[in-house]
Amino acid sequence: MPDCPICVCDANVLYPAQLRDFLMRLALGEVFQAHWSERIHEEWTRNVHADYPDITWEDLQRIRELMNGALPRALVTGHEDRIEDLSLPDPSDRHVLAAAIDARADCIVTFNVRDFPAAELETWGIEATRPDELARGLFDQDPDAIVEVAATHRRSLTRPSKSPDEYLQLLGGCGLEETARLLRKYPGRI
């Protein structure tokens, strides 16, 4: 993985609020370049709204706008013509690969790695990786940067606030088990 990998975030990693926030903070810290498309935004917001109807469309739209505003080069556009020519086990995932190709991504960050077979991605020099694998690789490259992101993220949680141990449990619960284990080695800094 390159020093600052370019990654397209699949909708399933943007769906959990704490994971989305952690990934955004990693991207804002310039440890990796995050990308997504409007269709990816539509997918995760639609699913959040279906599962949490008390979260309004206006709230979800505001989150999308904040994400796009915070990382203005993250939104991938112009890739739609490529979608039909791509082949994946689930045709509904082709838009993610098309966005990754246009972003010149190194990887697609997803929980559904099996939906993006290596044989289909290697033509484009892209790999599928789980968020924990991405964070672990970034941790190996620059542990101080990841510890700082985690500490800032933990401090931002005020409803309710989280102790370092509670925060690491939260990370583990949103799919970052190995990352949480690595961060436990820095108890005074989280």
User: What is the tens place of the pLDDT at every residue in 47-71?
Assistant: 999 999 999 999 999 999 999 999 9
Distance CA 36, CA 34 (A): 7
Residues 17-57 have pLDDT tens digits of 999 999 999 999 999 999 999 999 999 999 999 999 999 99
Q: Give, rounded to a whole angstrom, the gap between the first and last alpha carbons of the chain.
A: 26
Distance CA 175, CA 152 (A): 19
pTM of the model: 0.95
SS3 content of the chain, % helix, strand, coil (to 5): 60, 10, 30
